């Protein structure tokens, strides 16, 4: 009988797999953890090292993965190397690479070594921090990270979990998954406060409640309103225009709210945005808060993208008046190097949120909660279970410091300014709205015999042709009834050369289109 050292490799492999399947199952065997994570870390490092050479958009058809991988789960185990091989061969080619330096669509989804490490450690600990007692360090880390970020943003002390003296404040924060969740929980809190204020018994007064936002507000707001039970007929989308750079006009807001009062409705909630998705418009926070105060309406500020820029003094004025709003949310996973998911919600009076969200079953009762000295973050969100999100945010701020984070923001804004200048210098294009932060809205402009409708079609075709090259990825929007291309700078790996290369691709693609 031959020895195993000279046997067919396939036989050895089959023998190894068979032995593994008969061994005791130890999913957290320390040596297996070490081996798997080392291989995963190598994969991640190689991915970032090579991502620039990958097509930003994949060339796959719907259902491709079902055809490439097993249609049914395996009965027996297989070496981790086989699993990783399938990830490389089938998953990576089907990914849209948001981390690519050639990604300019939507808003950035930034990341960093410290952010990845924080998320990895939190995932390994796998704590479920619904109460302080269930995970004291997870709760306290989240509170600390939120207060740190509040200080970077120069938010008033009323939004912080702890005052300057270290005492608990009346405000506070929670880290949620998305802006949608932040809107939903604040809408529910505002709804309940308005019902109490109007003397409604239960939800009988719900059909009378009205909510307001500009037509540039993210569509998730209108979805959250429906989920919170507001009558779609009472959701006001206030038109914006170039006269206010597509920001919400306080005069129009006042008119709409007064008209609703005259009709017997109760103004309940106003959503202001700092950096809208379509045009990066900035609603005037202070003026909106002044109008809403006349009707005792809740004001929420959605600063998901642009709020991160406000850690730089030169952008902080966009939050002027925030001390008069009721809540504000910022998503560091967009522009502050903290990987998904991480949306920071601050409220001026945390009791309004907990009054609506609190749940206290017997099995979660404990002395720490009863003492009133701790924050149970389950009472500031829709669900009960929650991830240890605070660790990665704290690790990003602790590792890089304020100066490096500001440098990161400023570098992106500088590159966007450069791109804006290149667009303005080409007579075929126009910048549609003034650039705010690091996104440029531009389009091929109608000129000569080209109508606005022709220009719309040309912009659609330009985007399609650009994206199918795999060398860049842009998205579009509609502003003033016209098709507009959005160029969002901010992918963590982006450098000036990537922006210039994208512009050359845009110019050359346009040249080819106009010659056809």
What is the C-alpha separation between 248 and 215, in angstroms, rounded?
A: 8
DSSP 301: E
**Is the distance from CB of 429 to CB of 420 less than 8 angstroms?**
no
452, 482 Cβ separation under 8 angstroms: yes
Confirm if 184 and 228 have CB atoms less than 8 A apart: yes
Tokens of 181: 């969740």
Could you tell me where the DSSP H helices lie in 425-495? 452-468
Q: Alpha-carbon Rg of the chain, whole angstroms?
A: 26
Tokens representing 8 are 């067919």
Q: Please pick, among 47, 76, 246, 363, the residue that the annotation labels catalytic.
A: 363
Assess whether 363 carries a catalytic annotation. Answer: yes
CA dihedral 325, 247, 190, 327 (to 10 degrees): -40
State which H helix or E strand residue 176 sits in.
Answer: strand 172-176
DSSP 198-219: TT-STTTTGGGEEEEEETTS-H
Determine the Cα angle at 491 with ends 489 and 496, to 5°. Answer: 60
- Say what angle helices 179-197 and 219-227 make with each other, to 10 degrees: 50
Nearest to 492 by CA among 349, 340, 365: 340
Burial of 492 (0-12, 13-18, 19+ CB in 10 A): buried
- Dmax (CA) for the chain in angstroms is 96
The three-state secondary structure class of 354 is: helix
- Provide the edge-to-edge strand list for the sheet that holds 266-273: 172-176, 343-347, 327-330, 298-302, 266-273, 209-214, 235-238
Q: Would you call 345 helix, strand, or coil by DSSP?
A: strand
| Structure tokens that stand for 509 in this block | 């693609």
Rounded to 10 deg, the angle between the 496-515 and 390-424 helix axes is 50
CA 481, 487, 490, 493 dihedral sign is positive
The DSSP output letter for 444 is: E
- In angstroms, the CA 248 to CA 300 distance is 13
CA gap 509, 462 in Å, rounded: 7
Residues annotated as catalytic (active site), given as ranges: 363
């Amino acid at each position: 009988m031959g020895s195993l050292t000279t046997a067919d490799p396939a036989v050895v492999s089959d023998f190894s797999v068979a032995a593994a399947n008969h061994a005791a199952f130890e999913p957290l065997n320390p040596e297996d953890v070490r081996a798997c994570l080392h291989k995963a870390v190598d994969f991640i490092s190689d991915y970032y090292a090579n991502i620039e050479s990958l097509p930003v958009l994949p060339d796959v058809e719907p259902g491709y993965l079902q055809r490439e991988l097993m249609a049914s789960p395996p009965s027996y185990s297989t070496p981790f190397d086989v699993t990783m091989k399938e990830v490389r061969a089938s998953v990576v080619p089907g990914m849209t690479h948001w981390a690519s330096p050639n990604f300019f669509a939507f808003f950035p989804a930034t990341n960093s070594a410290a952010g990845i490490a924080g998320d990895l450690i939190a995932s390994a600990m796998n704590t479920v921090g619904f109460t302080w007692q269930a995970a004291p360090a997870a709760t306290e880390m989240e509170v600390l990270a939120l207060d740190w970020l509040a200080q970077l943003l120069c938010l008033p002390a009323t939004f912080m979990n702890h005052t300057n003296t270290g005492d608990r404040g009346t405000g506070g924060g929670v880290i949620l998954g998305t802006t949608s969740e932040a809107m939903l929980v604040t809408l529910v809190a505002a709804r309940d406060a308005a019902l109490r204020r109007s003397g409604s018994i239960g939800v009988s007064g719900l059909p009378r409640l009205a909510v307001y936002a500009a037509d540039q507000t993210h569509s998730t707001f209108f979805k959250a309103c429906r989920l919170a039970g507001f009558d779609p007929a009472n959701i006001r989308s206030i038109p914006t225009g170039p006269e206010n750079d597509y920001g919400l006009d306080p005069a129009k807001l006042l008119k709409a709210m007064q008209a609703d009062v005259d009709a017997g409705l109760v103004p309940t909630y106003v959503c202001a945005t700092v950096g809208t998705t379509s045009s990066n418009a900035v609603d005037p926070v202070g003026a909106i808060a002044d109008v809403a105060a006349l009707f005792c309406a809740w004001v929420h500020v959605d600063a998901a993208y642009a709020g991160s820029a406000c850690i730089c003094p030169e952008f902080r004025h966009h939050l002027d008046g925030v001390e008069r709003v009721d809540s504000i949310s910022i998503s560091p996973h967009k522009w502050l190097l903290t990987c998904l998911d991480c949306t920071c919600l601050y409220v001026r009076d945390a009791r309004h949120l907990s009054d609506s969200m609190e749940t206290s079953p017997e099995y979660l009762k404990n002395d720490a909660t009863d003492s009133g000295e701790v924050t149970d973050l389950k009472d500031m969100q829709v669900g009960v279970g929650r991830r240890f999100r605070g660790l990665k945010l704290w690790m990003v701020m602790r590792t890089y410091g304020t100066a490096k984070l500001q440098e990161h923001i400023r570098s992106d804004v500088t590159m966007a300014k450069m791109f804006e200048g290149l667009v303005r210098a080409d007579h075929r294009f126009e910048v549609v709205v003034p650039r705010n932060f690091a996104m440029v809205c531009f389009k091929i402009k109608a000129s000569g015999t080209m109508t606005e409708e022709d220009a719309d079609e040309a912009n659609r075709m330009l985007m399609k042709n650009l994206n199918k090259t795999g060398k860049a990825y842009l998205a579009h929007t509609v502003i003033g009834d016209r098709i507009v291309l959005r160029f969002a700078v901010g992918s963590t790996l982006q450098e000036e050369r990537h922006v210039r290369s994208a512009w050359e691709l845009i110019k050359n693609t346009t040249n080819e289109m106009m010659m056809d």
